[in-house]
Structure 1
């Protein structure tokens, strides 16, 4: 790379932001540090594993969504807020909001995905995804309106029996209490099918304890304003519902799928082991947009943990290519899985550890505190966690 080399990172999720932060820490030679630009449509980074805590108001939005300007202060990384409207791979230009052009020498695609809610008739109109800060705010408002209406019961359907669906259902049960009538709709034979047995069994216990119904081997046929049609073994039932949350599927943005880059049948970008897009020496792909595999040839899950690990390799390889060092092949290391199961309850499984209940709840919080992007934010959030019980006690 020349002295004026430029690295452009599209997407400020776990993959994009942590790549930028890691790049800013490398020992670049005098004057050789590139211009690093991070682009995201939001002004805030979202620590998505803690998004569920907003439902029960265990955490506040500022704790899990600090501004990029605050995170990137004193790092030398430039932040550009806006929606990327075009990427010209050959000209090496990224266009933001139709009129802002950013030139690059190296490009990192970390745009993530979105939850498709147009698969089933009525889902686009009546189902809520739960993936962004705005999704959480919208859900909070819907819950507030339902609670203020003072119904005898609030009927909620959560579509998808994976981690997101189970965590959502348990947090909703904790918030709604006896008023809640919650069901998880899963097309497979069991919830959390790819999870460790310990996590699955602990989750099933939590669902049963919270009286959360499991509709297994069940498909959603249609949504209406106040009902959901479910298909089970050829039979269709129409069930009244106040709120439907959609947690299944991952859709890659058209911005990425229309690029002249190799893709698999799902639109994921095919990459080399070093995270470079196949056929390119200037474009990296990480996170939900990358068709990535572990050492055994199995596809890695689309999780924050994977994107976090990829960011280290991506940053290293960008630095290595600039300093004539060898590029590293990505090696995914499963560090275990954590899941919140309501208030003061969670489960952790991995690296020989199995924890559930309040101890797992505390451990999960502390692990995520350590993963927050900057030391300053870690200290601010940690101090708030310590002092909040005292504030509540004094104000009671």
Structure 2
């Protein structure tokens, strides 16, 4: 039985505001973006409000109606988790806080006037601003890729893929091509192979020479074993040249090759979201905002940028193999750590206390490698198979956004009613 879709934020219409109490003369903090960085920063601020010598009002601007716990998105394909578990409504998460939720789009940031222009609502004035818009799929440049492939980044993408799979599963053979052998491509290939079983013919194509290029070798080996165990065909050093309704063409071993497909999934990288409107900011070569070690903008100390948008420092990760590793990775783990760090610095700034530099701590790597299976590497250990699956699930459970939501999910997992 397919997961039942549920409603999302309307495409272009404003939603009712979450009621809030704004004390008179309060310091106004505006947080733009409700992903791992923005939401966890807002929740950390709410928990620490008593540490502030002045009253504070917090506004969170986010167009979606539900938070997406994206690392667990793949479990929807095998029905290991339900949509409500990984996509709780913001109104449920924030109902016992005094956060002012604006379900709207930030169209323009005026750093000089300290205002945020919304698509539908009245402009927001701020004293302090937090930008956490995250990243988006890299716009496909390969001919035909936009018309004939599906992305897998959001809950809407998962539901679109679910509908497509429901149409295809009546066939005796389902041919799936996954473009990209990064973490998303590997996780999708394993989950789809387990879901489709013998009728699934899964192919992974990547222009690079190895799967999971930026990951440790032991994790690469575990992923390669999982793909081989499932009979997933992998083409590396294979540049995709064109996509059409029936498949894709790629160069391999010096020759063009055509791979037929009923379904093509596009997982070839993401790019940081750009700054809303015009701003005197010079992005880094990776398209991120340069920030101080405290995650403040260089010329605007009352503005913080975190998550995928920011070139967050991580000095301990220097690598000759990959120079980009002197930055924190563009992962949920990094944004999850940065949210509370920015909350601390905001309150320190308001109270005129010293700020702390952000220190990224790499806690390891986790990937799902099929139904109930995963690989978890960190602190000198590498756990695979069913035990890896359980370890990964509990590690992510601990990072769900609120105590109330974690408790509800735990009761569901343990089979309690009500």
**What's the TM-score, normalizing by structure 1?**
0.94
Residue among 291, 295, 310 paired with 1:290: 310
What corresponds to 1:393 in structure 2?
Answer: none
Which whole-Å deviations, capped at 9, do the CAs of 1:108-146 have from their partners, x for residues lacking one?
Answer: 110011112431111111111111111111111111111
Matched, 1:172 2:192: yes
Matched, 1:63 2:85: yes
CA RMSD, Structure 1 to Structure 2 (Å): 1.8
Q: Secondary structure at the match of 2:72?
A: helix
Matched, 1:141 2:163: yes
**Residues of 2 paired with 1:361 and 1:74: CA distance?**
33
Is the CA contact 1:43–1:68 (under 8 Å) kept in the aligned structure 2?
A: yes
Is the CA contact 1:3–1:31 (under 8 Å) kept in the aligned structure 2?
A: no
Question: Per-residue deviation at 1:234?
Answer: 3.5
Residue among 358, 365, 379 paired with 2:386: 358
**Residues of 2 paired with 1:159 and 1:153: CA distance?**
19
Which whole-Å deviations, capped at 9, do the CAs of 1:140-174 have from their partners, x for residues lacking one?
Answer: 11111111xx3221111111111111111101011
Residue among 359, 374, 399 paired with 1:331: 359
Q: Secondary structure at the match of 2:359?
A: coil
Q: Secondary structure at the match of 1:312?
A: helix
Q: Secondary structure at the match of 2:392?
A: helix
Question: Per-residue deviation at 1:380?
Answer: 0.7
Matched, 1:119 2:112: no
Question: Per-residue deviation at 1:318?
Answer: 0.4
Question: Per-residue deviation at 1:218?
Answer: 0.7
**Residues of 1 paired with 2:136 and 2:213: CA distance?**
22
**Residues of 1 paired with 2:279 and 2:268: CA distance?**
25
Matched, 1:130 2:152: yes
Aligned ranges 1:1-396 → 2 under 5 Å: 3-28=25-50, 32-147=54-169, 150-256=170-276, 258-296=278-316, 298-387=326-415
Which residues of structure 1 form unaligned runs of 5+? 391-396
Which whole-Å deviations, capped at 9, do the CAs of 1:237-262 have from their partners, x for residues lacking one?
Answer: 12211111111222233444743223
Q: Secondary structure at the match of 2:382?
A: strand
Deviates more, 1:251-260 or 1:83-92: 251-260
**What's the TM-score, normalizing by structure 2?**
0.89
**Residues of 2 paired with 1:306 and 1:92: CA distance?**
27
**Residues of 1 paired with 2:120 and 2:358: CA distance?**
34
Which whole-Å deviations, capped at 9, do the CAs of 1:294-343 have from their partners, x for residues lacking one?
Answer: 12451221000000111121111001001111111111111011111111
Question: Per-residue deviation at 1:178?
Answer: 0.6
Q: How many residues align?
A: 387
Q: Secondary structure at the match of 1:302?
A: coil
Is the CA contact 1:262–1:278 (under 8 Å) kept in the aligned structure 2?
A: no
Is the CA contact 2:66–2:90 (under 8 Å) kept in the aligned structure 1?
A: yes
Q: Secondary structure at the match of 1:269?
A: coil
Q: Secondary structure at the match of 1:317?
A: helix
**Residues of 2 paired with 1:124 and 1:105: CA distance?**
41
Q: Secondary structure at the match of 2:234?
A: strand
**Residues of 2 paired with 1:216 and 1:257: CA distance?**
39
What corresponds to 1:394 in structure 2?
Answer: none
**Residues of 2 paired with 1:98 and 1:85: CA distance?**
9
